[in-house]
Chain A
Amino acid sequence: MNQVVTNIDGYDVERIRQDFPVLDQEIRGKKLVYLDNAATSQKPKTVIDSIVNYYENDNANIHRGVHTLSERATLSYENARKTVAKFMNAESEKEIVFTRGATEAINLIANAFAEKLSAGDEVLITAMEHHSNIVPWQMLCEKTGAVLKVAPINERGELILESFEALVSKKTKFAAISHMSNALGTINPIKQMIDLLHQFDVPVLIDGAQAIPHITVDVQALDCEFYVFSGHKLYAPTGIGALYGKMEQLEQMAPYQAGGDMISVVTFDKTVYNKVPYKFEAGTPNIVGTIGLGAAIDYVTNIGVDAIAAHENSLLEYAVEQSKKIDKLRIIGTAENKGAIMSFVLDGIHPHDIGTMMDHQGIAVRAGHHCAMPVMDFFGVPATARASFAMYNTHEEVDALMAGIENLIEMFG
């Protein structure tokens, strides 16, 4: 457990940690080890400052006032849209719709496709989806009479590509696929899957909620119709996320909610909707959230998504290696291509007991079904414990995790 692992060249994790004020605290008298990053990430000072700065200096409503503060707020809001577009390599910032998060983005799309689907059509998802990428499609199917098809996974938690391929047909009218599984860490071969679906002209939504902090996303190279993510897993505040959609798709989609900002002309006879993306942004949006998201993306881009991923992967490899020393530990999700998530169970010890006992040692891990009950069913476990790594985690924290697990095994006897 005392093995010292040097950091990857040029990646200064200690300096990064100083940018995250929340990390510097003790929990129950122990140094906080935050390993619940797949649930939500911590926020760097620049993001926190951007929020304070906005409220202290620029707060106003957007897209309506002609006064200076409103112009400033509008500019910041629209700049954040440009930042997101550039980050995902969208062709235009007009293809970025701000939402509350990935969940709302998926619901927005499912809602719009209700008028495009009919009985007998099929919607294709995978067996490793988060509930938020299952339930909206179930509801859509109920509404339209379409059938939900689920592509299976194997024992390692990888998608079985041949089975997936066999499920794609002329009946398939939509596909929704996670880029990276939150419960297992599996990274799907989405480019290959998108190409396959496009042979049948199937529009594809990629749920990037887990992937976005770990994988460089290029929506033009991927050629997906939609890509959604939540800001809060990307070091931004909660309550803000984004939906990328190809312009041709967004233009023909019905609005999600009705209200201010999504209209261009309203009379009591008729309303003319605003253009994309505003058509999908009814009501006063989470302005400060978008500003925080912009600041988070700037922070991440400055360090580099690939450098962050390399660091996190070295943490994962180290954790997997060290966990082999613990007989009772079984990792759930051992895909060849996976991100920095280690879901595990301990023989005879329920994940909730693990969660409480780890918290007592200052270590925050997630225990539960991770909003992926079908995945738990597949592996025959009620729940798992999950350690998930972010840019600021260290190899010493992996050591603390392993020591914590050994302590609780001893306590359980």
Chain B
Amino acid sequence: MLDDLRDLYQEVIFDHNRNPRNFRAMDDADRQIDGFNPLCGDRITLFIKLTGNKISDASFQGQGCAISTASASLMTDIVKGQTEDEAQNLFSLFHKMATGEHVEMDDLGKLAVLAGVCEYPARVKCATLPWHTLDALLKGAEEPVTTE
């Protein structure tokens, strides 16, 4: 009955929602920041550790829907080991994908499972909240980030 929903809610998303990766506070984080979606109340706290200009560790905590939780889980996994520039570049690609612009899916790796979100305008911000938060963190913001 809900087969067409599988485009949005792929099994990988359920998996990351049930068992989010890197879902922990990081006591020795170099940077941390809160992200907030005031429209729906989703909250995320993002932590990263930097070695040189490389993200050597990333984790998150917070409360959100399956889409935002899976997105944060996937994001923290994928940016580990990336340079700040690489992560920023990936954010830009991810944002394009989430808003329906053409991108090479190969460049997005595992993140491609969230491509379906572009069909759901009300849910795009669920997927992009973790990324906007990371973007602000990398740019050195200290105030909480909002999607509005």
Chain B 1-43 interface residues, beta-carbon cutoff 8 Å to A: 1-2, 4-5, 8-9, 14, 39-43
Point out the residues of chain B lying under 8 angstroms from A383, CB to CB. Answer: 40-41
Point out the residues of chain B lying under 8 angstroms from A408, CB to CB. Answer: 2
Partner of B123, one of A356, A368, A382: A356
Q: Is A353 an interface residue, CB under 8 A from the partner?
A: yes
Question: Would you give the shortest CB distance from B1 to chain A, in whole angstroms?
Answer: 6
Q: Is A369 an interface residue, CB under 8 A from the partner?
A: yes
Point out the residues of chain A lying under 8 angstroms from B8, CB to CB. Answer: 356
Point out the residues of chain B lying under 8 angstroms from A352, CB to CB. Answer: 40, 42, 65, 67, 123, 126
Known contacts A353-B67, A356-B123; A411 and B5 CB within 8 A of each other: yes
| Complexed CA–CA distance, A368 and B38 (Å) | 10
Chain A 361-395 interface residues, beta-carbon cutoff 8 Å to B: 361, 367-369, 373, 376, 382-383
Chain A 293-307 interface residues, beta-carbon cutoff 8 Å to B: none
Are A412's CB and B43's CB within 8 A?
A: no
Of B40, B43, B69, B122, which is in contact with the most chain A CB atoms at under 10 Å from its CB? B40
Of A349, A353, A412, which is in contact with the most chain B CB atoms at under 10 Å from its CB? A353
| Complexed CA–CA distance, A407 and B41 (Å) | 25
Known contacts A350-B66, A352-B67, A382-B41; A413 and B4 CB within 8 A of each other: no
Are A382's CB and B14's CB within 8 A?
A: no
| Complexed CA–CA distance, A349 and B66 (Å) | 8
Bits for A30-54, please: 1 = Cβ < 8 Å to B, else 0: 0000000000000000000000000
Of A356, A382, A383, which is in contact with the most chain B CB atoms at under 10 Å from its CB? A356
Bits for B64-95, please: 1 = Cβ < 8 Å to A, else 0: 11110100000000000000000000000000
Partner of B4, one of A28, A349, A373: A28
Q: Give the residue name and chain of the B residue nearest to A412 (CB).
A: B14
Total contacts A to B, CB within 8 angstroms?
Answer: 54
Chain A 328-353 interface residues, beta-carbon cutoff 8 Å to B: 349-353
Q: Give the residue name and chain of the A residue nearest to B62 (CB).
A: A382
Question: How many chain-B residues does the 8 Å CB contact rule pick out?
Answer: 22
Are B14's CB and A407's CB within 8 A?
A: no
| Complexed CA–CA distance, A157 and B111 (Å) | 41
Are B66's CB and A353's CB within 8 A?
A: yes
Question: Would you give the shortest CB distance from B123 to chain A, in whole angstroms?
Answer: 6
Question: Would you give the shortest CB distance from A247 to chain B, in whole angstroms?
Answer: 40
Q: Is B56 an interface residue, CB under 8 A from the partner?
A: no
Are A360's CB and B123's CB within 8 A?
A: no
Point out the residues of chain B lying under 8 angstroms from A382, CB to CB. Answer: 41-43, 63-64
Are A357's CB and B5's CB within 8 A?
A: yes
| Complexed CA–CA distance, A382 and B36 (Å) | 12
Question: Would you give the shortest CB distance from B60 to chain A, in whole angstroms?
Answer: 15
Q: Give the residue name and chain of the B residue nearest to A367 (CB).
A: B40
Are B41's CB and A376's CB within 8 A?
A: yes
Point out the residues of chain B lying under 8 angstroms from A369, CB to CB. Answer: 40-41
Q: Give the residue name and chain of the A residue nearest to B123 (CB).
A: A356
Q: Give the residue name and chain of the B residue nearest to A403 (CB).
A: B1
Point out the residues of chain B lying under 8 angstroms from A350, CB to CB. Answer: 64-66, 69
Point out the residues of chain B lying under 8 angstroms from A28, CB to CB. Answer: 4
Point out the residues of chain A lying under 8 angstroms from B120, CB to CB. Answer: 356
| Complexed CA–CA distance, A219 and B93 (Å) | 58
22 A–B contacts, CB within 8 A, in A order: A350-B64, A350-B66, A351-B65, A352-B40, A352-B65, A352-B123, A352-B126, A353-B65, A353-B66, A353-B67, A356-B5, A356-B8, A357-B9, A360-B2, A361-B1, A382-B43, A382-B63, A382-B64, A383-B40, A407-B2, A411-B5, A411-B9
